[in-house]
């Protein structure tokens, strides 16, 4: 039976997953058809909006809405390897993928080779889902970090996206050179840059602030999560210093609840 998502009635978990996954599929589909696909080819605003949807908006919907195959074994593997370094790897991967597809060279290449559009979407989605599984619970998969570290992780990623928005908005000669702007026809170059920057900043804020706030409040008002405490005990026992190992050491030979025949 599927484990209930915290805060969701157990009977509604499957339905909520379907709604979230359907929303992700709908948003993804809209990025490949007009008018958004046309805007992405004409304006920086359209290109940045499409990028933001793939990299920021869709991944959390997929992470929360997917019923992962072999979830029990995957959850067990994550519990056995909860080190901060592994989480940092997902963060670094997501940042590197976002940096590459955000560069003017990548955008120009995609514009000339349209077959790269689905490649961009899939790589941004995959990297984003890996990061979001460290930020939110998608039972039986749970984040490997405590709420405070999850809040910090979310804030760092949001500030990273804000930096990208700043680069677009403050570029003096245009961040993307492959977009042409004719006077009196559509957005001017300056307006296009400013709107694109505002779109990227807004989407990052709307997506990340609730997660940052929820984890910060959980850290401030709740004791250590039971799952985190259990993982800590298991790691300590593997090193031979946990309470279960200590208890074994105090049991004298012949003790343990059984009697010799």
In tens, the pLDDT along 103-148 reads 999 999 998 999 999 999 999 999 999 999 889 988 777 888 889 9
Residue 98 or residue 231, greater confidence: 98
Q: Does any domain span residue 3?
A: no
Q: Does any domain span residue 96?
A: yes
CA distance 181 to 239: 63
The answer to whether 180 and 31 have CB atoms below 8 angstroms apart is: no
In tens, the pLDDT along 23-57 reads 999 999 999 999 999 888 888 899 999 999 999 99
Grouping H, G, I as helix, E, B as strand and the rest as coil, residue 116 is helix
How many Å separate Cα 238 from the centre of its chain? 30
CA distance 141 to 104: 36
Q: Which residues pair with 138 in a beta bridge?
A: 141
Report whether pLDDT(260) > 60: no
**Residue written as token pair 């279960």:** 244
170 band by pLDDT with thresholds 50, 70 and 90: confident
Name, in order, each residue with C-beta under 8 angstroms of 157's C-beta and a sequence gap of 6 or more: 91, 94, 95, 131, 208
Q: Does any domain span residue 58?
A: yes
Helices 226-238/71-80 angle, 10° precision: 60
End-to-end CA, the chain = 42
Q: Does any domain span residue 258?
A: no
Report whether pLDDT(12) > 70: no
Report H helices in 113-242. Answer: 116-132, 147-170, 189-221, 226-238
Nearest to 201 by CA among 63, 48, 26: 48
pLDDT of residue 245: 46
Q: Does any domain span residue 138?
A: yes
pLDDT of residue 174: 72
213 band by pLDDT with thresholds 50, 70 and 90: very high
User: What domain count does the chain have?
Assistant: 1
pLDDT of residue 82: 57
Sign of the CA dihedral with 84 first, then 86, 88, and 94 last: negative
Average pLDDT over residues 66-76: 66
Residue 80 or residue 189, greater confidence: 189
pLDDT of residue 9: 46
Q: Does any domain span residue 93?
A: yes
**Mean pLDDT across the chain:** 80
Long-range contacts at 1-8 (CB < 8 A, ≥ 24 apart): 2/67, 2/139, 3/139, 3/140, 4/139, 5/64, 5/137, 5/138, 5/139, 6/137, 6/139
pLDDT of residue 239: 58
Q: Which residues pair with 54 in a beta bridge?
A: none
pLDDT of residue 76: 60
> What is the SS3 string spanning 228-253?
HHHHHHHHHHHCCCCHHHHHHHHCCC
Residue 5 or residue 164, greater confidence: 164
**Structure pTM?**
0.77
Q: Does any domain span residue 245?
A: no
Report whether pLDDT(11) > 60: no
Q: Does any domain span residue 75?
A: yes
Domain of residue 230, residue span = 10-240
pLDDT of residue 137: 85
Pair of tokens at residue 241: 């210093």
171 band by pLDDT with thresholds 50, 70 and 90: confident
């Amino acid at each position: 039976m599927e484990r209930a998502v915290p805060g969701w009635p157990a009977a509604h978990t499957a339905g909520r997953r379907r709604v979230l996954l359907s929303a992700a599929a709908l948003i993804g589909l809209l990025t490949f058809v007009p008018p958004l696909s046309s805007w992405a080819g004409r304006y920086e605003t359209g290109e940045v909006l499409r990028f933001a949807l793939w990299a920021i908006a869709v991944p959390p919907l997929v992470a929360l809405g997917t019923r992962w195959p072999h979830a029990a074994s995957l959850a067990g593997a994550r519990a056995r390897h909860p080190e901060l370094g592994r989480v940092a790897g997902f963060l670094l991967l997501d940042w590197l993928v976002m940096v590459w597809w955000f560069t003017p060279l990548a955008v120009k290449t995609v514009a000339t080779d349209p077959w790269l559009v689905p490649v961009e979407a899939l790589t941004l989605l995959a990297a984003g889902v890996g990061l979001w599984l460290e930020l939110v619970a998608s039972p039986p998969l749970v984040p490997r970090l405590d709420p405070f570290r999850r809040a910090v992780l979310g804030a760092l990623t949001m500030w990273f996206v804000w930096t990208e928005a700043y680069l677009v908005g403050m570029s003096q000669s245009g961040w993307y050179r492959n977009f042409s702007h004719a006077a009196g026809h559509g957005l001017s170059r300056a307006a296009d840059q400013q709107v694109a920057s505002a779109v990227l900043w807004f989407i990052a804020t709307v997506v990340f602030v609730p997660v940052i706030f929820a984890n910060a409040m959980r850290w401030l008002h709740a004791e250590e999560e039971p799952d985190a405490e259990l993982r800590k005990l298991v790691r300590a026992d593997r090193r031979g210093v946990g309470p279960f190992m200590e208890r074994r050491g105090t049991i004298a030979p012949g003790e343990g609840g059984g009697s010799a025949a």
